[in-house]
Amino acid sequence: MQNTKLKVLKFGGTSMANASAIKKVCDIVKSDVANKFIVVSAPGKREKADIKVTDLLYEAFEQEKKTGECSKALDKVQKRFEDIIKELNLNLDLSSDFEAIKLEIKNQPSNCYIASRGEYLSAKVFASAIGYEFVDASEIIRFSTCGRFLDLTTKELARRRLKDTKGAVIGGFYGANELGTIWTFSRGGSDVTGSIIAGAMGVCVYENWTDVDGFMAADPRIVDKPDIIEMMTYKELRELSYMGASVLHSDSIFPLRKKDIPIHIRNTFNPKAVGTLIVPTKKFVAGDFKRKARTVTGIAGKKFFIAIFIEKSMMNDEIGFARRVLSCLEKHEISLEQMPAGIDTLTILFDGTFVSDEKLKLLLEDINLECSPDNLIVEKDLALIAVVGHGMSRNKGTAARVCSSLCKADVNIRLLDQGSSELNIIVGIELADFEKAIKALHKEFHKN
């Protein structure tokens, strides 16, 4: 199924945050008849100190659990929607929805239902503002009873429900299982909903509207005015967003990959900006968009990794050593990130954000028991930085430039890894050097 003239447009939290932003969104949607499938987030922050509606909803769940009452947080959510409705002059009353939420929250064992209500109500409001049909995402986005996303069923449901619509507004971030219980994707998951709908409907492009001019070559909180990447591939996006670049949820690519549907990142508050076009391959031809001939497309990093250095003499002769180490990680449900190895050494590196001291202690005990190493050293507080770009493939000197620019910036490299795909080079450094390293790498590859 290929609707080559239709588009999916997804608008993030800042685009839905207040009436004036929503008016801009209405103008964007009305500007092209192809704009038929609209996915929206819950209202986000109106200014820096504001609280996102989704965060208020999580707070309501906590209040309900502790005190059996959630009005304190929920009333704030109701007020935000009522202010928007009033300012847009809509003929819409959400009071019965809020009554229903207050009752339903009492039956909910998890916070998914309550968290999803921001997107559910946002879609109702926007449908009323634009005059499109409101489609409850629980009718089309399907999960299994244990919360696994069901791709084929969802595609089928989406096509059936949306095939004859003159225009539909769907809340992002949530769906339901076969029993009707609401499930959500991980945070930022409205991006994923948008790409699922785009994949199911086979549209010509998935436009993801946010509040920045495009995907930046480095984190703008660290680097002053980083370059905007005009064109990049899904693979580059996957590497960069997995490593912390946060414009788009990293799971957004999978539903689009098989269909070669490009993603266009655009700015609701500056619709004239070119944005970033994310395409299946570096040779993909896309109108006026040009892929810059750069060695490195972007740089991203993540903090708080833990490394365990394992040393054992004659390790290289011991069949199954790495498997035994990895089985310890599996037992403690820790996902491996990197595993550089020497002749008698092996390092395992994983995200430490959710690994408590107690869990780490048990893991070390198991590695000792299973592998009897000579030495086991734990290093906390490491950061990983990915230097990503197809341009480094078959090109000499990229690793040398990474190392010399970090050396010049007085950053010590603790670990260096380049995959055989030559799409990225990963460096492990100390947490304290994180900002310095990102700045140095951006300067080396983008500002010279």
- Binding stretches for ligand ASP (CB under 6 A): 13, 41-42, 52, 54, 118, 172-173, 187-191
Minimum Å distance from CB 424 to ligand ASP? Answer: 26
Please say which residue, 3 or 54, places its beta carbon nearer to ligand ASP: 54
Please say which residue, 140 or 371, places its beta carbon nearer to ligand ASP: 140
Please say which residue, 41 or 138, places its beta carbon nearer to ligand ASP: 41
DSSP letter at 17 equals: S
Please say which residue, 248 or 423, places its beta carbon nearer to ligand ASP: 248
Minimum Å distance from CB 188 to ligand ASP? Answer: 4
Please say which residue, 247 or 385, places its beta carbon nearer to ligand ASP: 247
Task: Return the SS3 of 167.
Answer: coil
For residues 177 and 274, give the distance between their C-alpha atoms in angstroms, rounded to a whole number.
Answer: 39
Minimum Å distance from CB 84 to ligand ASP? Answer: 15
CB 425 within 8 A of CB 416: yes
Please say which residue, 187 or 331, places its beta carbon nearer to ligand ASP: 187
Minimum Å distance from CB 191 to ligand ASP? Answer: 6
CB 45 within 8 A of CB 77: no
DSSP letter at 391 equals: G
Minimum Å distance from CB 255 to ligand ASP? Answer: 15
For residues 206 and 196, give the distance between their C-alpha atoms in angstroms, rounded to a whole number.
Answer: 10
- Burial class, 222, CB count within 10 angstroms (exposed 0-12 / middle 13-18 / buried 19+): middle
Gyration radius from the chain CA atoms: 24
Helix residue spans in 202-277 (DSSP H): 234-242, 254-257
Minimum Å distance from CB 249 to ligand ASP? Answer: 7
Minimum Å distance from CB 122 to ligand ASP? Answer: 9
Task: Return the SS3 of 120.
Answer: helix
Please say which residue, 73 or 328, places its beta carbon nearer to ligand ASP: 73
Q: Which amino acid is at 180?
A: G
- Between 112-130 and 95-104, two packed helices, what is the crossing angle to 10 degrees? 170
H or E element that contains 263: strand 263-267
Please say which residue, 189 or 352, places its beta carbon nearer to ligand ASP: 189
CB 287 within 8 A of CB 230: no
Minimum Å distance from CB 89 to ligand ASP? Answer: 25
What's the CA angle centered on 334, arms 333 and 337, to 5 degrees?
145
For residues 366 and 240, give the distance between their C-alpha atoms in angstroms, rounded to a whole number.
Answer: 33
Residue 252 CB partners (closer than 8 Å, separation 6+): 191, 192, 194, 195, 208, 263
CB 312 within 8 A of CB 372: yes
Please say which residue, 115 or 425, places its beta carbon nearer to ligand ASP: 115
Task: Return the SS3 of 300.
Answer: strand
Please say which residue, 42 or 277, places its beta carbon nearer to ligand ASP: 42
Return the residue nearest ligand ASP (CB atom). Answer: 190
Minimum Å distance from CB 211 to ligand ASP? Answer: 12
Minimum Å distance from CB 81 to ligand ASP? Answer: 14
Minimum Å distance from CB 263 to ligand ASP? Answer: 15
Please say which residue, 193 or 424, places its beta carbon nearer to ligand ASP: 193
Residue 432 CB partners (closer than 8 Å, separation 6+): none
Helix residue spans in 131-189 (DSSP H): 151-162
Distance, CA of 251 to chain centre = 6
CB 54 within 8 A of CB 42: yes
